[in-house]
Chain A
């Protein structure tokens, strides 16, 4: 069958305790496991073991992404196809990450590593699986984030990675950016019916632009932005804004190591089938509004700062 969704991000951080505090207190994840040099966290409305793995490191950035497949046989198929495409393929043993089965690790043309896996231990929703209460009061009275929604990766040649994800791994391209020479420099791709789980943009190979968490509604984005400012968490200079791409309401901020985070919400649904609906296209002159709809401009650091 197929990849069904972006399941977790494994991030490098320079201070594990500080990072854990950020992702539990500011983002609202729960710590679900610890091993030497690693902390595992999960969002309240996801039932697998983790959506975020923090690795103690000497610099920030992406270690790898975890993508969940629907049947175990997908792993060997993916390994074979990736090798045919000339990509490096490694294996991750069951238990290498807490609560997770074996995986196939593919190094994308962009130099990012993705780990395809089938099994995760189920820990359940934070509110429980039986008659759960709606309210979880652990982030200043507002409901915590729902789930890890997407990540934006940067690389020198976005089109090569976009094509691999679309043509080999069956991701659906919902929106894209096209340069005057016709090449794709920006791609938004989903393995499900959301607008994107992975986005690919120009930048240094292996770079992480951000990881995004889905929140309940716009009021949550506003309240969370108030709290980010109140706590002195570094945020995008525009504060609450809207992406022209996808039309979602959003705010960006940074974890203590310098990995960019996003809170965002929006109901955009896609067909769930690659190639069925033509992608939305953004050309270079529209990039300001595509990125920040209200301001119709992009601060320099939004392009240049990646981890």
Chain B
């Protein structure tokens, strides 16, 4: 084929370890309160997806003794992409690990994993089993399934925010080895990047699949899910509060950094979650130019509405428990 999309085509999933022996609390929160679809029920593991996603899972949760981010998975176009990335990484002296289909996660095809600067593990894969769209393939209503109504029931995994000790190194790595582009960044007074929104996809709620924040090695900042509309997110905030969910300090807000309308909140384990809509459609093209924010304007970049201290928002997930 003459013109062919190659490399990473989509953010696939985020995998968490949560301190929940039977995963009952996690199941209750993610299936009943957040409104995700549970796709498998294996001992010690919970697999969930959004109702608009055809793939087996976009969130994998393992029972563990501590809360942490395990890895983020990205889908690539074909096997040759895995080989190409592996070769590049090995040339750069970066260790890679291969896993056969179903060895790491049920329904996940053969995969390649490695650590990025900042300590997080990424996993690339070509195939994931597709249980299919919840609303079917023949003249679907594309309406939130009845059993999920009255919950946020997000449509897609949108992006994952990670904390890294050296944002510049992580950003450079993601560009060089995985072909990510920067859609927006926050610079300090010396012009060094403190934070960046990075993307490979052209999606309408777009501009980020990975968000890089300064913080401790390997930490999770937040997991964001896509919603159709800002007015939905206001109502979702009501559902969440009515279920006793703790919202982050901003409440529903316009986030100029990324141009989203967002609501940040916490699961029972301290995982920061986000519902977002808006964004900017970004182009994976060498001529694409990022929006740049000044550190001196960080409060205004993170919330257009709120006059509150931004420090709590910049703390990683699970910070209260740590």
Chain B residues, CB < 8 A from A48: 287
Query: Are the C-beta atoms of B2 and A77 separated by less than 8 Å?
Result: yes
For residue A216, which residues in chain B have a CB less than 8 angstroms away from its CB?
Answer: 230, 278
Q: Which of A1-39 contact B (CB under 8 A)?
A: 1-5
Report the Cα distance A186→B22, complex, angstroms: 48
Asked whether A157 is an interface residue with its Cβ less than 8 Å from the other chain, the reply is no
Q: Which residues of B contact A265 (CB under 8 A)?
A: 204, 228-229
Nearest opposing residue in chain B for A121, CB measure? B287
Which one of A1, A146, A217, A278 contacts B5 once the chains associate, using CB atoms below 8 Å?
A1
- A45 near B259 with CB under 8 A, answer yes
Instruction: Report whether over half of chain B's contact residues are helix, strand or loop; otherwise say mixed.
Output: loop
Residues of A within 8 A of B304 (CB): 134
User: Which of B62-70, B94-102, B134-142, B241-249 binds A?
Assistant: B134-142
Interface presence of B226 (CB below 8 A): yes
Q: Please report the C-alpha to C-alpha distance between residue A281 and residue B136 in the assembled complex, in whole angstroms.
A: 10
A271 touches B75 (CB 8 A): yes
Q: Which of A257-307 contact B (CB under 8 A)?
A: 265-269, 271-274, 277-283, 286, 289-290, 293
User: Is A183's beta carbon under 8 Å from chain B?
Assistant: no
Query: With A and B bound together, what is the CA distance between A129 and B146 in angstroms?
Result: 43
Residue in chain A with minimal CB distance to B155: A267
Bound-state Cα–Cα, A192 to B203, Å = 7
CB pair B77 A131 closer than 8 Å: no
Q: In the complex, what distance in Å separates the CA atom of A117 from the CA atom of B245?
A: 49
For the complex with contacts A168-B1, A269-B204, 5 further pairs of A-B residues with Cβ separation under 8 Å are: A125-B291, A168-B3, A192-B202, A277-B130, A279-B137
Contact surface of A with B, Cβ cutoff 8 Å = 1-5, 45-48, 68-71, 74, 77-78, 80-81, 119-120, 122, 124-125, 129-134, 146-147, 149, 168-170, 191-194, 214, 216-219, 244, 246-247, 249, 265-269, 271-274, 277-283, 286, 289-290, 293
Give me 13 A-to-B residue pairs in the complex whose CB atoms sit less than 8 angstroms apart, sorted by A's number.
A45-B280, A45-B281, A77-B2, A122-B289, A131-B300, A131-B301, A169-B3, A214-B281, A247-B142, A265-B228, A267-B228, A277-B130, A279-B137
